[in-house]
């Protein structure tokens, strides 16, 4: 089953390029593109997207306020906020609005596609702010905490896979998410940071 994505941005060239980028991905379907949010909620009802990718500023509309309304009216939909600027206040506003992710337009295509996939899986994907990343620890899912605990027990990915009855690939995705959220570059670093931040007790 494909991830259904609705794109909302008032820059026609960027919107067209983004649509082309996503449509080559086998697991993603762009259900519609909007350059004017005036009919956004009608479009959502018509297309039933899994993900709405929305610019933080669209003409006279505020992408953060639209995000709040989308999540209020359609709680099952995930929202990825796009911005031309990596401002801390934008990142925090998107997080507080309930978005699943914040990504700048300058990031690589691969990163954007990955962000959409991770958001679809329920992960929160936010860049670090000047104060670090105040969102990361609280966003560790129950399964990620279980994986982290097994990492602390020096279990291999295959052992974790068997113990939690999930695929090795799923284990790898969880570990990747844990490293990002705990701002670590290794399994050992994740354990150390997890202990420091009170996410893990051993």
Instruction: Give the pLDDT of residue 155.
Output: 94
Backbone angle region of 131, left / alpha / beta, with phi > 0 → left and psi within -120 to 50 → alpha = alpha
pLDDT of residue 138: 47
Q: How confident is the model at residue 89 (pLDDT cuts 50, 70, 90)?
A: confident
Task: Parse the chain into domains and list their residue ranges.
Answer: 3-120, 137-196
Pick the CATH number of 137-196 from 3.90.1420.10, 3.30.70.100, 2.40.128.50, 1.10.10.10: 1.10.10.10
Answer with the residue of higher pLDDT: 8 or 59: 8
| pLDDT tens digits for range 117-137 | 989 988 888 876 544 554 544
The pTM of this model reads 0.66
Contact 180, 144 (CB under 8 A): no
Do residues 139 and 102 make contact, with C-beta atoms less than 8 angstroms apart? no
Does residue 60 register a pLDDT over 70? yes
Task: Write the DSSP string, the chain.
Answer: -PEEEEEE-S-HHHHHHHHHHHHTSTTEEEEEEES-GGGHHHHHHHH--SEEEEESEETTEEHHHHHHHHHHH-TT-EEEEEES---HHHHHHHHHHT-SEEEETTS-HHHHHHHHHHHHTT--B---BTTB-TTTGGG--HHHHHHHHHHHTT--HHHHHHHHT--HHHHHHHHHHHHHHTT-SSHHHHHHHHHHTTS---
3-120 CATH: 3.40.50.2300
Predicted pLDDT of residue 184: 81
pLDDT, tens only, 13-52: 889 999 999 999 999 999 999 998 999 999 999 999 999 9
- Which residue bears the tokens 């991830």? 3
């Amino acid at each position: 089953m494909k991830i259904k994505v609705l794109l909302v941005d008032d820059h026609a060239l960027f919107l067209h390029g983004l649509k082309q980028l996503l449509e080559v991905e086998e697991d993603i379907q762009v259900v519609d593109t909007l350059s004017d949010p005036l009919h956004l909620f009608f479009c959502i009802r018509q297309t039933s997207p899994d993900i709405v990718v929305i610019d933080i500023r669209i003409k006279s509309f505020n992408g953060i306020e639209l995000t709040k309304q989308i999540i209020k009216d359609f709680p099952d939909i995930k929202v990825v906020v796009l911005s031309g600027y990596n401002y801390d206040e934008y990142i925090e506003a998107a997080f507080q609005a309930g978005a699943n992710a914040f990504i700048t337009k300058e990031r690589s295509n691969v990163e954007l596609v990955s962000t959409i996939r991770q958001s679809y899986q329920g992960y929160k994907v936010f860049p670090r702010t000047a104060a670090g990343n105040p969102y990361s620890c609280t966003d560790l899912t129950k399964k990620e905490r279980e994986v982290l605990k097994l990492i602390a027990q020096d279990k291999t990915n295959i052992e974790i896979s068997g113990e939690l009855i999930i695929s090795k690939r799923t284990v790898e995705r969880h570990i990747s998410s844990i490293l990002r959220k705990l701002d670590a570059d290794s399994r050992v670093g994740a354990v150390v940071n997890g202990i420091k931040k009170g996410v893990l007790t051993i």
